[in-house]
């Protein structure tokens, strides 16, 4: 265990920034299906977003941004979320790719003919195998406490990557759309 005397917020920020930069560099060097995710989302009638825990919180941020673009977006589990159907897309994140509720949702999406875009560390997981577009984040899964892939606790690096990948997906779609920030602004929340 590191010395408590050496622990400062500044040293932690620097260490986390190095890890995040390394993940981004690796994703840029080997993007896999990143651009395929854009196609899955823009080709969908509606986009359903699902993640558990902190990964779910990160994807909720992405859901909001996709809504700002004018996509019909639903967060799975909200009381107003309709049934998924053919022509829809399910955007998911699970570090392990084995989170039972997410895997069941992917199975349902596949069964009805919806497309699946998944963010995970485990391409050979049930979620990874179900995905039509797969983003493999080179980070530690939640249960990896070895410190080899990340010195952060319980999947922190994966969750940070989910936020950044979600923002990059939004940013790419926004720039493809030709819409201005003023065009998006009327969809911004006004009941705050």
Question: Which residues belong to the active site?
Answer: 159
Separation CA 97–CA 128 (nearest Å) = 6
Contacts by 99-107 with C-beta closer than 8 Å and gap 24+? 99/52, 99/127, 101/50, 101/52, 102/50, 102/51, 102/52, 102/127, 103/127, 103/130, 105/50, 105/76, 106/130, 106/131
- CA distances to 4, 93, 155, 162, 185 from 56, in Å: 31, 7, 13, 9, 24
- CA distances to 13, 21, 24, 187 from 131, in Å: 33, 26, 21, 30
Report whether 155 contacts 141 (CB < 8 A).
yes
């Amino acid at each position: 265990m590191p010395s408590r005397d050496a622990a400062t917020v500044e040293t932690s920020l620097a260490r986390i920034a190095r890890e995040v930069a390394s993940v981004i560099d690796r994703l840029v060097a080997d993007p896999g299906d990143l651009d395929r995710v854009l196609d899955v989302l823009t080709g969908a009638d509606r986009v359903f977003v699902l993640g558990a825990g902190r990964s779910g919180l990160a994807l909720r941020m992405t859901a909001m941004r996709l809504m700002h673009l004018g996509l019909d977006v639903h967060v799975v589990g909200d009381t107003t979320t309709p049934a998924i159907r053919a022509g829809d897309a399910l955007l998911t994140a699970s570090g392990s790719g084995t989170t039972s509720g997410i895997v069941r949702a992917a199975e349902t999406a596949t069964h009805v003919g919806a497309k699946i875009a998944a963010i995970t560390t485990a391409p050979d997981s049930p979620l990874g195998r179900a995905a039509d577009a797969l983003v493999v984040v080179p980070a530690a899964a939640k249960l990896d406490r070895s410190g080899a892939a990340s010195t952060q606790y319980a999947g922190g690096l994966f969750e940070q990557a989910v936020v950044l990948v979600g923002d990059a997906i939004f940013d790419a779609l926004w720039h493809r759309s030709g819409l201005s920030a003023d065009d998006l602004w009327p969809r911004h929340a006004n009941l705050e």
